Amino acid sequence: MKFFVDTADTKDIADLAASGLIDGVTTNPSLIAKSGRPFAEVIAEICALTPGPVSAEVVATDYDGMIKEGRKLAKIASNVTVKLPLTLDGLKACKTLTGDGTQVNVTLCFSANQALLAAKAGATFISPFIGRLDDIHLDGMELIHEIRQIYDNYLFDTEILAASIRTANHVKQCALAGADVMTAPPAVIKSLVNHPLTDKGLEIFLADAKKAGIKV
């Protein structure tokens, strides 16, 4: 499973990229706004930090506007993936932009039928939002299982990019469900390493080594 980091904070991205644990980056307009930096500048900087796909989202909602913005974003760097909302205009723009050879991430997916449409429109990635479904007391993970089955039934190439991941358990469940990619905030990715028995075990080993005067 590929790991993308869901942030526009370039310090966090540089830090995780150096660990070799991330394969790409996702952003959205809320994350760009939080960075407080100009859109094109921050996307260009992120693209230079990782060779992997970097999702940059359009803000237009009509087909012509999405095509114009998508082509502009795609020119920033060769690893820009244009992120489009799951609307009829978004799907039409997905068909056009992928036809140009641009990678497209169709975002804001909340149902299996929406994911089926995105695959038919040739999306490179589909982003089902797990956490936001859980927030309204639905089962976000069930959606990942449904999409996996549908894509496997018809051999669609579209990659399932599990998004809106909030916990380490979400990551594990996505891996078990066969998501191709998961995107999570830096803190969630870093938390995956934690286990109290690892900490305790290390403490004991180091104490025993000190007592015995072991040097390596």
Residues involved in catalysis = 83
Q: Which two tokens stand for residue 165?
A: 């991941």
* Selected binder of ligand E4P within 70, 164, 171, 173 (CB under 6 A): 164
- Count of residues engaged in binding ligand E4P, rule: CB under 6 A: 11
* Selected binder of ligand E4P within 68, 132, 145, 190 (CB under 6 A): 132
By CB under 6 A, is residue 26 in contact with ligand E4P? yes
* Selected binder of ligand E4P within 6, 9, 69, 159 (CB under 6 A): 6
E-strand spans in the chain? Answer: 2-6, 24-26, 54-57, 80-85, 103-109, 125-128, 159-162, 181-184
Distance of closest approach, residue 131 Cβ to ligand E4P, in angstroms: 5
Distance of closest approach, residue 83 Cβ to ligand E4P, in angstroms: 7
Which residues, including other chains, have CB under 8 Å from residue 200's CB and lie 6 or more apart? Answer: none
* Selected binder of ligand E4P within 50, 81, 102, 107 (CB under 6 A): 107
Residues 28-67, interacting with ligand E4P (CB under 6 A): 28
Cβ-based burial of 65 (10 A; exposed 0-12, middle 13-18, buried ≥19): middle
Cβ-based burial of 196 (10 A; exposed 0-12, middle 13-18, buried ≥19): exposed
Residue pair 112/90 in contact (Cβ under 8 Å)? The answer is no
* Interacting residue ranges for ligand E4P, rule: CB under 6 A: 6, 26, 28, 107, 127, 129, 131-132, 163-164, 183
